[in-house]
């Protein structure tokens, strides 16, 4: 923002430097442990980077394609049933860890996304499409369908309650 001063913090760079020094010392003192740590890092990184890549691509697309006017129309005040449907469907279809999604949701909120739709998105992430066949196998189709419907209904209730609480808290 223009006119605001920002204080730079070098804490993250210091942490990175200390971590690299610790790994260098580990490599000198116990090379086998350093190799195992590096192998673990590469396995975890290989699991995480596809999701991070997807989220960063979605962030890029959101910044390039979604103007605040369009977000306000689909996810802002007055978006109605269309906004709820988009938020819930987005939550159900979202994959991977929640943490990278926070950045995208923050951007959408800055551009006009309603708080209740944000809450519904996060709540409806409890429905995991890849797990539905397994749930149907173990618990049956009716139970799985009812559970999914309850999650959707409660995502809406949760969103409405959160909006009421945040509006009254301002």
Q: What is the DSSP letter of 9?
A: -
Does any domain span residue 7?
Answer: no
Amino acid 170: pLDDT: 54
Residue 1 pLDDT: 43
The answer to the question of residue 6 being in a domain is no
Please report how the helices 99-110 and 115-124 are oriented relative to each other, as an axis angle in degrees rounded to 10.
160
In a domain, 122, yes or no: yes
43 and 82 inside one domain: no
Residue numbers of the domain that contains 156? 66-168
In terms of domains, do 18 and 79 share one? no
Cβ distance 152 to 88 under 8 Å?
A: yes
The verdict on residue 58 lying in a domain is no
Domains: count for the chain: 2
Please tell me the predicted confidence (pLDDT) of residue 49. Answer: 81
Residues 91 and 147 in one domain: yes
35 and 112 assigned to the same domain: no
Q: Is 38 in the same domain as 112? A: no
| pLDDT averaged per 10 residues, the chain (length 170) | 59 90 91 90 84 76 71 79 90 83 85 89 91 91 95 95 77
Residues 74 and 154 grouped into a single domain: yes
Helix, strand, or coil here: 169?
A: coil
The residue out of 5, 29, 52 marking a domain boundary is: 52
Residue 95 has φ and ψ, to the nearest 5°, of: -125, 165
pLDDT of residue 126: 93
pLDDT value for 66: 66
Q: Are 103 and 153 found together in one domain?
A: yes
- Residue 121 maps to a domain: yes
pLDDT at residue 135 in the model = 92
- In a 13 Å sphere around the CA of 38, the CA atoms on its Cβ side amount to 12
Same domain, 47 and 70: no
Q: Exposure pattern of 57-77 as b/e (b: 16+ CB <10 Å)?
A: ebbeeeeeebeeeebbebbbe
Domain check: are 129 and 163 in the same one? yes
Quote the pLDDT of residue 6: 55
| Same-domain check for residues 151 and 100 | yes
**Cβ atoms of residues 75 and 113 within 8 Å:** yes
Residue 8 lies in a domain: no
Q: Is there a single domain that holds both residue 45 and residue 85?
A: no
- Per-residue pLDDT, 70: 75
Query: Considering only CA atoms, which of 114, 46, 105 is closest in space to residue 75?
Result: 114
Q: Say whether both 48 and 100 belong to one domain.
A: no
What pTM does this model have? 0.61
Alpha-carbon distance 91 to 144, whole Å? 17
């Amino acid at each position: 923002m223009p006119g605001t001063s920002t204080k730079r913090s070098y804490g993250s760079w210091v942490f990175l430097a200390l971590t690299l020094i610790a790994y260098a010392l580990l490599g000198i003192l116990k090379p086998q442990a350093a190799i195992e740590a590096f192998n673990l890092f590469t396995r975890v990184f290989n699991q995480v980077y596809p999701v991070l890549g997807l989220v960063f691509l979605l962030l890029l697309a959101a910044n390039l394609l979604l103007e605040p006017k369009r977000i306000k129309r689909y996810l802002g005040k007055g978006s109605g049933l269309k906004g709820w449907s988009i938020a819930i469907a987005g939550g159900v279809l979202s994959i991977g860890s929640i943490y990278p999604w926070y950045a995208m949701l923050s951007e959408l909120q800055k551009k006009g996304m309603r708080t209740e739709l944000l809450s519904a998105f996060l709540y409806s992430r409890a429905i995991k499409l890849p797990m539905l066949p397994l749930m149907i196998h173990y618990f049956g189709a009716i139970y799985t369908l009812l559970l999914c419907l309850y999650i959707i209904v409660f995502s809406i209730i949760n969103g409405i309650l959160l909006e009421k609480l945040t509006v009254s808290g301002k």
